[in-house]
Structure 1
Amino acid sequence: MILNFSFKLIAGREGIWCKFALFRTYRALSTAPVDVLWQKIINLADVSWHPLLSSTNAPSGLIAKPGIIYQVVTRLIPIPVQIFVERVRPGELLSVRVLAIPGVEKRVTYQIESTVCGTYVSYSVTLRGWLSPLIWWFIRPYAARVASELAQAAEQIAAL
């Protein structure tokens, strides 16, 4: 687990502004092959393994491509949230931006790397905005489980 954060107070003509940014990465080791993990990540319709998301409006079989916008419903608050797919490097990286509420910007990056020990899955969260500390307080316990839940879901598929 890697944690970086910055907090800046900026004085200007309009008053004092607060800028907050948080970056955290979680990693999990999996015995599942890279292809199985990658298929689990890019399948936008299947969020059954994700501890923060409960459902999506993406049609079955829709694969992540840059520019796609779709909606998900979170487990915390049953309100639809839009997700924008920013970058995709096949077999390596998926980066999305969560368009939830004004005052917070959330970027999520999934990264896969194959090693001799197995396959590492990284889940990185970047929060920016003045509401970031409050949002982080709500999602922190769930965000800590995303990488391990993804690894377990892929291992169950690989075992079949």
Structure 2
Amino acid sequence: MLGCLSKIIHHRGRRFQCSLVRTYREISSASVDELWQKVVNLADVSWHPLLTSTNVPNGLIPKPGLIFQAVTRLGPIPIRIFVERVHPGEMMSVRVLSIPGIEERVIYRVESTVCGTCVSYSVTLNGWLSPLIWSLIRPRAAKVAAALAAAAEQAANTALSTEPKPLNDRCFDF
């Protein structure tokens, strides 16, 4: 467990600062595009184990500098989320602005591999409240990558089942 979770405690004068870093990865059978569409659809966070809803309108494409509000499943506490970086089809980095004493950065990455599509969810917590916040969000943060992959696979399966079947081309039927 200590190899997976790095804890660095800095002592600066009378302030303690703790950093917690954790990355979760999941392999999915969904395509990179399907996974990316789930990541950037900030209006639909029904698959997300930590977020209940956001105030983002449907169809808004995240760009760096976008600030929106979200409500967590841990309680009706609204938090602000700032989109830092977006590399379309690859990576989106957001900063969660919840309470003073904690700084959270989340990075979503989607990449194609030989085994399927790999989606990763990286969480970095900084600040003196990070051990307390980490103990609250850790069980749900561990499920984000798996929930994202499952939601993209389910969306891909429903899209395939609702597509009209092609008509048989009888051009070469003798």
- TM > 0.5 fold call: yes
TM-score (norm 2): 0.87
Aligned partner of 2:11 among 6, 9, 12: 9
SS at match of 1:59: coil
SS at match of 1:141: helix
Highest CA radius of gyration, 1 or 2? Answer: 2
Q: How does 1:1-160 map to 2 (within 5 A)?
A: 2-10=4-12, 12=13, 16-160=14-158
Unaligned runs of 5+ in 1: none
Residue 93 of structure 1 and its aligned partner are, at CA, apart by: 0.2
SS at match of 1:48: coil
Residue 100 of structure 1 and its aligned partner are, at CA, apart by: 0.4
Residues in 1 aligned to 2:7 and 2:28: alpha-carbon distance in whole angstroms:
28
Size of the alignment, in residue pairs?
Answer: 156
One-letter amino acid of the counterpart of residue 60, structure 1: N
SS at match of 1:46: coil
Residue 25 of structure 1 and its aligned partner are, at CA, apart by: 0.2
Unaligned runs of 5+ in 2: 159-174
One-letter amino acid of the counterpart of residue 9, structure 1: H
**Identity between Structure 1 and Structure 2 (%):** 66
Residue 9 of structure 1 and its aligned partner are, at CA, apart by: 2.3
SS at match of 1:98: strand
Residue 145 of structure 1 and its aligned partner are, at CA, apart by: 0.1
